[in-house]
Chains A and B, each alone.
Chain A
């Protein structure tokens, strides 16, 4: 097996609880190539968010080894951007100031970052909103701004923890398209956690299927659909085949009922 840009070998995470240890992750092995878009798909409680937090250095794995770009992980790595389920924009800052917080915290040149921020906002259709406050924007616009914040210093690795989970179906589709467009413009390694099978298949080069009790990787699907994928791809037979395959897998795992 080749060693990827992100490399996890025998990673386990156990939480101590009053009723004994809870195994959140058991023996996770995963290699992610540079520039690969990979989705981690699974039901709630399968440890997919914990896995993402371990890769981001926000939680330490109990066992095993996580390497990013060859070096072992100690805290959040450099060149990391992260998007969370809620946008976690700061209410007292304007949209562009929210993005500029990356420059403050990472001690980057504010002039360059500001230029980059305005560029990204325009790319996400948020030009003209840079001086608005988060509470003046809709949920979809806020999450777009949060993605801009994560991308503004051009990180090599982007971790997304159910980023569209709190949005309505139409906004989700819209953001999926934009996500693909941005990713194709400057491909970076993306780990995208979701519980939506269509979203995972539409966006990813690979879909990693997780199961719970204990949280583990069950299967790894390569998605060979040509890019750019339009929303029309959802009518394609190939696309449906992937959906069915993954859905059947969850049925076999007892997560989804087949009939």
Chain B
């Protein structure tokens, strides 16, 4: 009973997942679903173990481009947000430009990047950056700006410089909003990478899916999708973990707070 209470969430998640897999397996066998339409989970798993090296290479390629794209999006996004918050001209010009960029389906830009940058990872990374940067800029700018007026007054009374206010007040204050943006951005970076791989080819799970589709190897398509899902989930929870580690003051972490005097 104690074990159940301590691991209730994990047990629930695992049972629901396992139950669905069993259902899927049984359905495909009993109903004789053709393998090119929907392969059984056992076949997908077998497919993964047929060529583990190949899947590992493709997964790592996708992971590398996603992380590079995400990293660049964070650095550029935060710099843009700082510029937007500190200069009215930048706010008006950059912000409008970003909204215009975001309204464009970035998938449409991918072929252009391939023309400009070739079929290697630079073009794929660029697609990932253009998709992932938007939530980072918007959320960081919001976080940097939403300082209580009296906090600013406190800093002004202490004759703090703009740089000091940015470093010691605006930036730490913006961290929770930045992380909210990064959680959206990490998934978007993965989307951008796959789009890039669809268009540019080469290594990566996106390219592998296209190749498998060409030969109606549905089991291989599913194997890639499973890997993509695992990748996306792990990346999301990595950001979530970093958030908890870096922001012990955030409201969700305040269980240790002691009651009043």
Report A's interface with B, CB cutoff 8 A: 53, 56-58, 75-76, 78, 80-82, 84-86, 88, 90-92, 101-102, 104-106, 133, 135-136, 138-141, 171
Q: Which residue of B159, B168, B260 contacts A139 across the interface (Cβ within 8 Å)?
A: B260
For the complex, give the distance between the alpha carbons of A101 and B160 in Å: 10
Q: Which of B151, B249, B256, B260 contacts A138 (CB 8 A)?
A: B260
Contacts of A90 in B (CB 8 A): 151, 168-169, 172-173
Specify the chain B residue showing the minimal Cβ separation from A170.
Answer: B261
B154 close to chain A: CB less than 8 A? yes
In the complex, chain A residues whose CB is within 8 Å of the CB of B254: 135
Q: How far is the CA of A104 from the CA of B161 in the complex (A)?
A: 10
B159 touching A76, Cβ below 8 Å:
yes
CB distance B150 to A53 under 8 Å?
A: no
Give chain A residues whose Cβ lies under 8 Å from the Cβ of B249: 91-92, 133, 135
Residues in A neighbouring B157, C-beta threshold 8 A = 56-58, 76, 80-82
* Closest Cβ neighbor of A146 among chain B residues: B154
Asked if residues A138 and B257 are in contact (CB atoms below 8 Å), the reply is: no
Q: A56-B157, A105-B164, A138-B261 are in contact. List 15 more A-B contacts (CB 8 A).
A: A53-B153, A75-B156, A76-B159, A86-B148, A88-B148, A88-B151, A90-B168, A92-B247, A104-B164, A105-B168, A106-B159, A135-B249, A135-B254, A135-B257, A136-B256
Pairs across A and B, CB under 8 Å, 17 listed? A53-B153, A57-B156, A58-B156, A76-B156, A76-B157, A78-B159, A81-B157, A82-B154, A88-B148, A90-B173, A91-B249, A92-B249, A101-B168, A102-B158, A106-B159, A135-B249, A138-B260
Nearest residue (CB) in A for B251 is: A135
Q: Which of B114-161 contact A (CB under 8 A)?
A: 148, 150-151, 153-160
B100 within 8 A of A: no
Contact A140 B261 (CB under 8 A): yes
Q: What is the CA–CA distance of A58 and B156 in the complex, to the nearest angstrom?
A: 7
Closest to B148 in A: A88
Q: Are A136 and B258 in contact (CB under 8 A)?
A: yes
Please name all residues of chain B whose beta carbon is closer than 8 Å to the beta carbon of A136 when the two chains form the complex: 256-258
The smallest C-beta distance from B252 to any residue of chain A, in angstroms, reads: 12
Looking across the interface, which residue of chain A has its beta carbon closest to that of B175?
A92
Chain B residues near A75 (CB-CB < 8 A) = 156, 159
- Docked pose: A78 CA to B175 CA in angstroms: 31
Shortest B52–chain A CB gap in Å is 44
Chain B residues within an 8 Å CB radius of A80: 157
**Interface contact B168-A104, CB-CB below 8 Å:** yes
Task: Determine the distance from Cα of A167 to Cα of B101 in the docked complex, in whole angstroms.
Answer: 48
Residues 239-261 of B at the A interface (beta carbon under 8 Å): 247-249, 254, 256-261
Contacts of B148 in A (CB 8 A): 86, 88
B170-200 contacts to A, CB under 8 A, are: 172-173, 175
